DNA sequence: GCGATCAGCT
DNA sequence: CACAGCTGATCGC
């Protein structure tokens, strides 16, 4: 629970994730993600009134957050005042005091936070230095080193303060299994259950509004079964999520909710009300995603824990672990750090005590050399998390944290944009391309799959999934084949035709019975039993429950982190989101498109067009045409960008499959750069496809170009005159 | 009747 | 485990 009060010392005229009290006076608002505890005051009458009296105050957030927020009618009054900013696109924002006319400017960059769809961190650059507000985040180790816009000139930016998500900043959360491990555990558990019969269903007992989507989409992808949810209209413009969800209850995987869900479950009834299908009772297990952690410095905790005959907990965390937090912070190495969260049972002092040593003033005299290109890219060959730091910490003789002088002749390229509500591109008909792009950046976590794959410990290379040899009848492959490609319209129809006979039936013991006896829940539920079996080497599965009590451990679920690694990780590698960025392109081809330099030329041209089609928020239509509109571009001389011109003083290691760029492509690109033409990628850059891997060609160019380019969002009056 | 706050629950 | 977010009680406007 965030205890951040909304304001940062360096930029007190802006408010982030808090909208009450002092924040009512802010000149601009920022929302990092769409969770209620970060939206305090956002729909209060006081703020609504402020908005009505103001011409200029706006809320800035990611496109996905905007979409999610505006799905709720309660926030509709914000509609004309929300300006979405593309991920990783430095954007200048005016901070105007409407009473005095006093104006300050700040450049904000949104960085993916991996917490939930649309979640971002905000990097602010302005007269009072560079500060990072992380919001809530979960980033794997090494992730910061892959964020280009945290760097300039191949070094980490000089960041004065970090406002940090410290939810798990406590040694007892030393390590939390990775998303991949946790996901893999759930996949295997689900597989072991739903392949038994069409009447075996799984209920994912998810609490929070957003954040489980990658779980849903991966399960859906894996088993060819859509996930039943109560609502999906918030994802109407995010096909990569939407396609995996359904409001049709006739599915084997549910994530629906009901206030009395637990009670229902006791009676073998799903939250949506079904208890049977074709008059045959359903057999249901519940899986409750919840944060677990590995014991301090051990790596043996199971990612799936059975807590009752039909109840499981699955390890799942939206927040970085202690070691991930430390890794992140020590990489950023700011001057100051401010915890956003003081976890219960600890104090501000204790948290600061942990974090301060990772900050600048506590470092040895020599700054760390943290070049962008080399870190975390190569496969690591050792396991120990602590040792990883050696990768970073070799001090170099040069004071490399100093800002570099201008090293390129390029001037900053500035896009003038209007914040006029009426001119917002959202008012224009968004192209599907736009929406797809929006969707893509929803999934920072999809990155992790790749990253973990290539980086993490001594993992085996992609292995074939463990087969569930003993689970006879229905394999997931068969199921997959049975499922038709979903039609868009399907998601908007109410399933009135459902003739499920058990729907409104009162729970009868005979019907609920089946192979599971309700009485078994009485005292076993709630008592956490960690099930572990060391003899499960390949196939992870659940034993037949009908034949034994749930406490029989001999052949029950066994999902340790270790096993996950050698187990079925194939589903992760599919990278279910990746092929969908460009629909109808097979994943393999997609991969080639990204990795193969020969495609870059057309790719960039394509991006150019995308920029035309998809103006950034507030962008005037003239700009959206994609033509040069010189008067709308101004040269900026932001001191904060002074060091951002250098980019090529480090080497990007080759991606194995990639070739070096050919001369003509490079020439094309550099010509564009030289003339200041807009080759930069607005939406494409938000793709996790090109933010995660060191693409030989793109990376140096992007680094170079992104840094010098800043969008400007200006206010109406200034624009039109 | 609505909002803010808190206890309780999961 | 302390997620995030509901429900219900109470109080104040």
pLDDT band at A688 (very low <50, low <70, confident <90, very high): very low
DSSP string for A603-647: HHHHHHHHHHHSPPTT--HHHHT-S--GGG------GGGTT-S--
User: Is A640 a domain residue?
Assistant: no
A46 CA from B3 C1′ (Å): 11
CATH code of the domain containing A200: 3.40.50.12650
Terminal Cα distance for chain A, rounded: 45
A165 and A88 both lie in a single domain:
yes
Contacts of A471 (CB under 8 A, 6+ apart): A191, A192, A195, A196, A541
Shared-domain flag, residues A220 and A358: no
- Residue A555 tokens, joined: 């052949």
Would the Cβ of A656 be found within 7 angstroms of any atom in strand C? no
- Tens-digit pLDDT profile for residues A238-247: 999 999 999 9
Across the beta sheet with A82-84, what order do the strands follow? A14-16, A28-30, A59-61, A82-84
More confident residue, A96 or A571: A96
Q: In this model, does residue A406 exceed pLDDT 80? A: no
Q: Are A18 and A167 contained in the same domain?
A: yes
| Statement to judge: residues A210 and A351 lie in one domain | no
Strand B within 7 A of A207 CB: yes
Share of chain A above pLDDT 90, in %: 46
Over residues A106-122, the mean pLDDT reads 98
Q: Is any atom of nucleic acid chain C found less than 7 Å from the CB of residue A1?
A: yes
**In Å, what is the separation between the CA of A696 and the C1' of C9?**
62
- One domain, residues A140 and A230: no
Work out if A45's Cβ lies within 7 angstroms of strand B.
yes
| Of A267, A4, A105, A201, residue with least CA distance to A713 | A105
User: Among candidates A611, A614, A618, A632, which has minimal Cα distance to A678?
Assistant: A611
Do A330 and A244 share a structural domain? no
The pTM of the full predicted model, rounded to 2 decimals, is 0.64
DSSP H helices, A88-228, are 179-194, 213-223
User: Could you tell me if A195 and A341 lie in one domain?
Assistant: no
Burial class of A647 by CB neighbour count within 10 A (0 to 12, 13 to 18, 19+): buried
Are A141 and A198 part of one and the same domain? no
Looking at the fold, whether A203 and A299 belong to one and the same domain comes out as yes
Residue owning tokens 């060609």: A697
Q: Is residue A384 part of a domain?
A: no
The pLDDT assigned to A28 comes to 98
Domain with A339 in it: 7-172+324-362
pLDDT on residue A1: 83
Under 8 Å CB-to-CB from A357, ≥6 apart: which residues? none
Nearest of A505, A441, A454, A586 to residue A85 by alpha carbon: A441
DSSP-assigned letter for residue A130: E
> Does the pLDDT at position A44 exceed 60?
yes
Q: What is the pLDDT of residue A365?
A: 53
Is the minimum distance from the CB of A259 to strand C below 7 Å?
yes
More confident residue, A533 or A361: A361
- Strand boundaries in A216-282, DSSP class E: 227-228, 245-246, 253-254, 276-277, 280-281
Same domain, A310 and A235: yes
Instruction: Give the CA A343 to C1' C2 distance in Å.
Output: 6
Q: What is the pLDDT of residues A48-105, one digit of tens each?
A: 999 999 999 999 999 999 999 999 999 999 999 999 999 999 999 999 999 999 999 9
Residue bearing the bigger pLDDT, A502 or A569: A502
- Whether A19 and A136 share a structural domain: yes
pLDDT, residue A293, reads: 74
Q: What is the average per-residue pLDDT within A363-368?
A: 56
Residues 6+ apart with CB under 8 A from A155: A369, A370, A371, A372, A400, A401, A404
Report if residue A269 sits inside a domain: yes
A649 neighbors A396 (Cβ within 8 angstroms): no
Number of domains in chain A: 2
Q: Which CATH number fits the domain that encloses residue A15?
A: 3.60.15.10
Model confidence at A624: pLDDT above 90: no
Mean predicted lDDT score pLDDT of chain A? 65
Question: Nearest nucleotide by C1' from A207 CA?
Answer: C4
Question: Strand B nucleotides below 7 A of a protein CB?
Answer: 3-4, 10
> What order of strands is seen across the sheet that includes strand A283-290?
A245-246, A227-228, A253-254, A200-204, A283-290, A311-315, A304-306
Across A347-373, average pLDDT? 77
Bases of chain C below 7 A from a protein C-beta are 1-7
Residue A408 has pLDDT above 80, yes or no: no
């Amino acid at each position: 629970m965030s205890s951040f009060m909304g304001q940062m010392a360096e930029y007190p005229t802006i408010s982030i994730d808090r909208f009450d009290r002092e924040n009512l006076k802010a000149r601009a608002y920022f929302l990092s993600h769409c969770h209620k505890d970060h939206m305090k005051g956002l729909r209060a009458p006081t703020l609504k009134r402020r908005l009505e009296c103001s011409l200029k105050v706006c809320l800035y957030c990611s496109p996905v957050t905007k979409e999610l927020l505006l799905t709720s009618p309660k926030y509709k009054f914000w509609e004309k005042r929300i300006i979405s900013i593309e991920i990783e696109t430095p954007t200048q924002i005016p901070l105007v005091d409407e009473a005095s006319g006093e104006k300050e400017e700040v450049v904000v960059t949104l960085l993916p936070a991996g917490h939930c769809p649309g979640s971002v961190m905000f990097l602010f650059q302005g007269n009072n230095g560079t500060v990072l507000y992380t919001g809530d985040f979960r980033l794997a180790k090494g992730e910061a080193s892959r964020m280009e816009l945290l760097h300039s000139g191949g070094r980490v930016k000089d960041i004065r303060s970090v406002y940090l998500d410290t939810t798990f900043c406590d040694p007892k959360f030393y390590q939390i299994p990775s998303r991949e491990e946790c996901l893999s555990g759930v996949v295997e558990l689900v597989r072991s259950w739903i392949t038994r019969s069409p009447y075996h269903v799984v209920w994912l007992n998810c609490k929070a509004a957003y954040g489980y989507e990658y779980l849903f989409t991966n399960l859906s992808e894996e088993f060819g079964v859509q996930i039943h949810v109560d609502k999906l209209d918030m994802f109407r413009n995010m096909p990569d999520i939407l396609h995996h969800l359904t409001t049709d209850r006739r599915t084997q995987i549910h994530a629906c909710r009901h206030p009395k869900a637990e009670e229902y479950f006791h009676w073998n009834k799903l939250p949506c009300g079904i208890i049977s299908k074709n008059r045959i009772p359903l057999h249901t297990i519940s899986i409750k995603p919840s944060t677990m952690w590995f014991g301090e410095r051990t790596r043996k905790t199971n990612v799936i824990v059975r807590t009752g005959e039909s109840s499981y907990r699955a390890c799942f965390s939206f927040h970085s672990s202690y070691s991930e937090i430390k890794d992140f912070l020590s990489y950023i190495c700011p001057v100051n750090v401010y915890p956003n969260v003081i976890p219960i049972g600890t104090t501000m002092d204790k948290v600061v005590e942990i974090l301060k040593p990772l900050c600048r003033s506590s470092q040895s005299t020599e700054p760390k050399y943290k070049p962008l290109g080399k870190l975390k890219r190569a496969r690591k060959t050792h396991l120990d998390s602590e040792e990883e730091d050696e990768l970073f910490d070799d001090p170099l003789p040069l004071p490399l944290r100093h800002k570099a002088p201008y090293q390129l002749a390029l001037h900053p390229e500035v896009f003038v944009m209007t914040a006029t509500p009426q001119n917002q591109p959202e008012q224009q008909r968004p192209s599907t391309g736009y929406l797809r792009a929006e969707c893509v950046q929803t999934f920072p976590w999809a990155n992790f799959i790749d990253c973990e794959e290539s980086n993490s410990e001594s993992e085996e290379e992609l292995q074939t999934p463990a087969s569930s040899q003993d689970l006879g009848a229905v394999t997931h492959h068969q199921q997959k084949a049975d499922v038709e490609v979903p039609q868009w319209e399907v998601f908007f129809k109410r399933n009135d035709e459902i003739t499920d006979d058990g729907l409104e039936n009162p729970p009868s013991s005979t019907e609920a019975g089946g192979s599971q006896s309700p009485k078994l829940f009485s005292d076993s539920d709630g008592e956490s039993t960690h099930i572990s079996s060391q003899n499960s080497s390949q196939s992870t599965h659940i034993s037949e429950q009908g034949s034994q009590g749930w406490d029989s451990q001999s052949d029950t679920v066994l999902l340790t982190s270790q096993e996950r690694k050698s187990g079925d990780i194939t589903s992760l590698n599919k990278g279910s989101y990746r092929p969908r960025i460009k629909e109808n392109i097979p994943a393999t081809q997609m991969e080639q498109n990204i990795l193969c330099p020969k495609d870059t030329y057309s790719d960039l041209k394509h991006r150019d067009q995308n920029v035309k089609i998809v103006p950034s928020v507030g962008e005037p239509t003239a700009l959206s045409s994609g033509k040069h509109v010189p008067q709308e571009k101004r040269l900026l001389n932001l001191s904060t960008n002074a060091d951002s011109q250098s980019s090529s003083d480090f080497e990007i290691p080759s991606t194995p499959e990639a070739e070096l760029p050919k001369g003509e492509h490079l020439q094309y690109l550099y010509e564009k750069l030289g003339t200041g033409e807009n080759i930069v990628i607005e939406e494409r850059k938000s793709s996790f496809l090109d933010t995660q891997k060191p693409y030989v060609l793109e990376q140096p160019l992007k680094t170079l170009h992104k840094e010098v380019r800043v969008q400007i969002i200006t206010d109406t009056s200034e624009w039109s005159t």
